Amino acid sequence: MLLIDGKKVAAELRQKVKDDVDAIVREYGRAPHLAVILVGEDPASQIYVRYKEKACEEVGIVSRIWRLDGATGQCALEKLITELGASDDIDGILLQLPLPRGLDVGRCLSLVNPKKDVDGFHPENVGRLSIGLPGLKPCTPYGVIKLLEYYGLSPAGKNAVVVGRSNIVGKPMAMLLAAPTPFGNATVTVCHSRTADLGAACRQADLIVPAIGKAKLITREMVKPGAVIVDVGMNRLPDGKLCGDVDFEGVKDVVSAITPVPGGVGPMTIATLMSNTVEAFRWRREKPLCP
Ligand code: NDP
């Protein structure tokens, strides 16, 4: 069984980004700037933003955090997103989700300048992904593809099952796996909470990508021997430990490759955010998204 080492692959990707940032500084006289907007006090979001800040520091990207009060109104948030979109000093914009209740996430995301949309959630980038045009891709699913690529685990011609259909993970994951690209070309099934027989769907899969948010939902009986599992799920157990959507101990002897949680997809998400920030910097200057 191959234990897919997300920490190692992410460290290599961050090193590559650092080299890219150094080259940008030499060429343009400044590093890429990432603007992070954090609204309210959600404890998990505070932690994620701290990780992102630290990762930026490591690779030489300049990050600036806009910490807004939880009572911030829609208008004030929209004004900030629009101003950052127009500012020549800002290369990437990240709106940390979830937003406090009462704020319109869809409207905010669609106001992010698509060329600075490092999360790949703007409708233009979603559209670009769906029709195979270059664009900024959502960090988590793109990180999954990079893991498969690193280990030469090509999904081409294989049956892939994505469990989850969220806009940020499941849907873009399915699109990337089905795309006619070197690490796409899979035959993809998307499962969700209304899937009649999740076990039957998973048992025919050569590759399972669970993005559910339910600890250990995917068990040994649901996995075909030799399957590859890339577990996106991150769940906090009552004892405080993190675990994925897969019963790792139960399946580890039947799979051919699997990611651990933590140490699998999580580090890739942040490393991909760093590489997306460099992409956004270059796209605006060297290869405009909208010629
Ligand atoms: P969402 O809650 O938005 O989506 C969960 C999906 O799982 C939904 O499509 C839901 O179906 C489906 N689902 C729920 N219960 C079942 C079930 N019993 N059987 C089949 N499908 C089910 O979550 P996200 O997509 O935002 O995140 C998913 C997981 O990935 C979470 O654990 C999250 O913490 C983790 N995550 C990890 C990241 C990382 O970097 N490692 C980054 C982002 C997320 P329906 O649509 O019908 O409700």
DSSP string for 108-177: HHHHS-GGGBTT--SHHHHHHHHHT------HHHHHHHHHHHHTT---TTSEEEEE---TTTHHHHHHHH
Number of residues assigned to the chain: 291
Q: What is the per-residue pLDDT across 193-231, written as a single tens digit (0 to 9) for each?
A: 999 999 999 999 999 999 999 999 999 999 999 999 999
**Ligand 1 neighbourhood includes 189 CB (under 6 angstroms):** no
Nearest Cα neighbor of 255 from 287, 280, 224, 284 is: 224
Active site residues: 52, 96, 119
Across the range 99-109, mean pLDDT stands at 97
Mean pLDDT over 33-41 rounds to 97
Determine if ligand 1 sits within 6 Å of the CB of residue 215: no
Query: 287 pLDDT band (50/70/90 cuts)?
Result: confident
Which of 169, 190, 202, 243 to mutate to test ligand 1, by most ligand atoms within 8 A of the CB atom?
169
pLDDT of residue 9 exceeding 70, the answer is yes
**Is the model's pLDDT at 289 over the cut of 70?**
no
Mean pLDDT of the chain: 97
Specify the pTM.
0.97
Predicted local distance difference test score (pLDDT) of residue 46: 95
Q: How many CA atoms lie within 13 A of 116 on its CB side?
A: 25
CA angle (161, 267, 256) in 5-degree steps: 40
- Tell me the CA–centroid distance for residue 276 and ligand 1, in Å: 23
Say whether pLDDT at 87 is over 90. yes
Prediction ipTM score: 0.99
User: Angle between the 265-285 and 139-150 helix axes, to the nearest 10 degrees?
Assistant: 110
166 C-alpha vs ligand 1 centroid, how far in Å? 6
Atom of ligand 1 nearest to the CA of 192: 21
Domains of the chain, start order: 28-115 (3.40.50.10860), 139-266 (3.40.50.720)
What proportion of the chain, given as a percentage, has pLDDT over 90?
A: 97
